[in-house]
Amino acid sequence: MAVILGIFGTVQYRSRYLILYAAWLVLWVGWNAFIICFYLEVGQLSQDRDFIMTFNTSLHRSWWMENGPGCLVTPVLNSRLALEDHHVISVTGCLLDYPYIEALSSALQIFLALFGFVFACYVSKV
């Protein structure tokens, strides 16, 4: 929604919408920086013990874990580790592990957000 307001603010030269868009981009950069720190386990963050992404409601599994480039997924049947609504899998042969893919996509989002922030500030100033 903030992106739509940013586009509308750019087309209509409405600086209030662009300021809202720029504020959203600041929050977006912060969120993506957290995602990078979470997946690269910076500081006290750990994927194995922290269920931050799901607010302790379920097990977290990245989409990239199963669908990464070159990954071969093999279901593990009759595993004692599986909960009622989850299944255990074995993933092998990935060209790039999923934490690095998550961190790279977040870094790309930060780069695009910084570009959008500069553009929004420029257009709102003009």
Confidence at residue 80, expressed as pLDDT on a 0 to 100 scale: 60
What domain count does the chain have?
1
32 is a domain residue:
yes
| Contact yes or no for 55/49 (Cβ under 8 A) | no
Coil, helix or strand for 74? strand
46 is a domain residue:
no
Domain interval for residue 36: 1-40+96-125
Query: CA 59, CA 115: separation in Å to the nearest integer?
Result: 35
23 is a domain residue:
yes
In this structure, the number of other CB atoms found within 10 A of the CB of residue 65 comes to 18
Query: CA 3, CA 25: separation in Å to the nearest integer?
Result: 9
16 is a domain residue:
yes
What's at 55, amino acid-wise? Answer: F
Query: CA 87, CA 122: separation in Å to the nearest integer?
Result: 50
Confidence at residue 74, expressed as pLDDT on a 0 to 100 scale: 79
Task: Print pLDDT tens along the chain (126 aa).
Answer: 777 777 777 777 777 888 888 898 999 999 999 889 888 888 777 666 545 565 555 556 677 877 888 888 777 666 565 555 555 667 778 888 888 998 999 999 999 999 988 988 888 787
CA distances from 47 to 1, 9, 39, 59 (A): 30, 39, 7, 10
60 is a domain residue:
no
79 is a domain residue:
no
Query: CA 123, CA 18: separation in Å to the nearest integer?
Result: 8
87 is a domain residue:
no
17 is a domain residue:
yes
> Which pair of structure tokens corresponds to residue 117?
């922030």
